[in-house]
Amino acid sequence: MDSIGTETRVDYARVFHQAIDRLHAEGRYRVFIDILRNKGAFPNARCFAGHNGPKPITVWCSNDYLAMGQHPKVIAAMEEALHDVGAGSGGTRNIGGNTHYHVDLEAELADLHGKEAALLFTSGYVSNEATLATMAKILPGCIIFSDELNHASMIAGIRNAGCEKRVFRHNDLAHLEELLAEADPAAPKLIAFESVYSMEGDIAPIAGICDLADRYNALTYLDEVHAVGMYGARGGGISERDAVADRLTIIEGTLGKAFGVMGGYIAADRTIIDVIRSYAPGFIFTTSLSPVLVAGVLASVRHLKSSTAEREGQQAAAAALKAMLRDAGLPVMPGDTHIVPVMVGDPVKAKKISDILLAEYGVYVQPINYPTVPRGTERLRFTPGPAHDEAMMRDLTRALVEIWDRLELRMAA
């Protein structure tokens, strides 16, 4: 029996090493680039030793889309909160961690989307996961209809819900209707989708999806993380731009991208917010957002409700960069948003291009490989913002053309 015991003994270290070896073999082992951004000089940053540094670089892949993370109003609000109430909240929302900043920000976000109420989470990931899982549990027999390109956090929430799921082809209304028509009319239904798909840079037909939701009595859940602050007259996202916010059951957003800080939220009617607040473990059992962050977001949301300069600057920069790259014959993916993806189609080459850009050109753009995008669609993803000027764009274009030639990558068109 002893020898059998030895033979069957699990070799944990071997299993863990094999898991890492698989990543290397597929060329998608990730190396985190070690940087510090320079407040007041974004997109400039410092890159640290071991990663081509220390030396100055230009960041081309930040999701601080409007550079609000360095806005004087945001910095001032955070500094004030830091000195007024201290570093952390000290507890969950229910136990000591509900500050007046949280209450104010939830009111501000509800107003941004024209909803009765809003609820803060520690991240957009958690808001998607917790809300979708909880909605399905509160609605026994619920079927969730999910766009095939939905973000990992929505997929996690749907899987953790343990409910039935139907995946519709990306932005395909006909396929969604086919699936809705097939489903039991008596079953609760929730359609989960995004407005701006961040790796494609395309936009969902929100009004069309709302029409289908009306026809089949389904609820709707819209992830606007890559749109809030950036679209709509007050930054309420694509749902504001398209004047359909009132038709959506739940709108979800982030505080860590265009608003420049950290955290996530949902906005909906008062009862739904109360249900998620009361039943979602990912909301209940976690220390609330630091009041310092919440104060910064409050300033950011309020500023972007009235100021349009950042949004206009971002759209102009995105249009200019797309035109420049396209004119140079580089394979820019189509799309009418602020996101500029350039297709590579191979994880090793995507990483190689990124490495050369950083080492030789001081350009920081991360390769986007599986599991962030499907295998075979590996790409570079540029996020020009109001602070990227024309000279930076020319430098970037020249560098890409030179590398495309050097690596003998086929040019588009």
Instruction: Give the integer Cα–Cα distance in Å for 331 and 344.
Output: 8
Instruction: Confirm or reject binding of residue 38 to a second copy (CB under 8 A).
Output: yes
Confirm or reject binding of residue 274 to a second copy (CB under 8 A).
Answer: yes
Q: C-alpha distances in angstroms, 115 versus 270, 308, 396, 412?
A: 8, 22, 42, 45
- Distance of closest approach, residue 20 Cβ to a second copy, in angstroms: 5
Q: Minimum distance from CB of 376 to a second copy (Å)? A: 19
257 is catalytic: yes
Hey, which residues between 334 and 373 contact a second copy (CB under 8 A)? 364, 366, 368, 371-372
Q: How far apart are CA 227 and CA 123, in angstroms?
A: 16
Instruction: Kindly state whether residue 293 participates in binding a second copy, applying the rule CB under 8 A.
Output: yes
- Measured from the CB atom, is 153 or 241 closer to a second copy? 153
Q: Is 78 in the site for a second copy (CB under 8 A)?
A: yes
Q: Which of 348, 335, 267 shows the shortest CA–CA distance to 301?
A: 267
Letters for 1-20 (x = contact with a second copy by CB under 8 A, - = none) are ----x--xxx-xx-xxx-xx
89 contributes a contact to a second copy by CB under 8 A:
yes
* One of 167, 183, 187, 328 touching a second copy (CB under 8 A): 187
The 103-142 site mask, x for binding a second copy (CB under 8 A), equals x------------------xxxxx--x--------xx---
Q: How far is the CB of 86 from a second copy (least distance, A)?
A: 4
Residue list 294-313, contact with a second copy (CB under 8 A): 296, 300
Question: Are the C-beta atoms of residues 365 and 354 closer than 8 Å to each other?
Answer: yes
Query: Residue 174, interface with a second copy (CB under 8 A)?
Result: no
Name 299's Cβ contacts closer than 8 Å, sequence gap at least 6.
Answer: 71, 73, 74, 76, 77, 78
Q: Which of 201, 237, 256, 384 binds a second copy (CB under 8 A)?
A: 256
- How many other CB atoms are there within 10 angstroms of residue 30's CB atom? 11
The answer to whether residue 75 forms part of the interface with a second copy (CB under 8 A) is yes
Query: DSSP letters along 224-261, please?
Result: -TTTTTTSSTTS--HHHHTT-GGG-SEEEEESSSTT-S
C-alpha distances (whole Å) from 247 to each of 63, 99, 267 are: 28, 31, 12
- Segment contacting a second copy (CB under 8 A): 55-63, 203-211, 314-322, 332-340? 55-63
Count Cβ neighbours within 10 Å for each residue of 282-318 and write b for 16 or more, e otherwise.
bbeebebbbbbbbbbbbbbbbbbbeeeebbebbbebb
Confirm or reject binding of residue 146 to a second copy (CB under 8 A).
no
Smallest separation, CB 367 to a second copy (Å): 9
Please tell me the distance from the alpha carbon of residue 150 to that of residue 147, in angstroms, as a whole number. Answer: 5
Judged by CB under 8 A, the residue of 148, 207, 217, 375 near a second copy is: 217
- Does position 328 interact with a second copy (CB under 8 A)? The reply is no
Which residues face 368 on adjacent strands? 379
Annotated catalytic residue: which of 257, 305, 349, 352?
257
380 scored as a contact of a second copy (CB under 8 A): no
Helix (H) or strand (E) holding 220: strand 219-223
Q: Which residues are catalytic?
A: 257
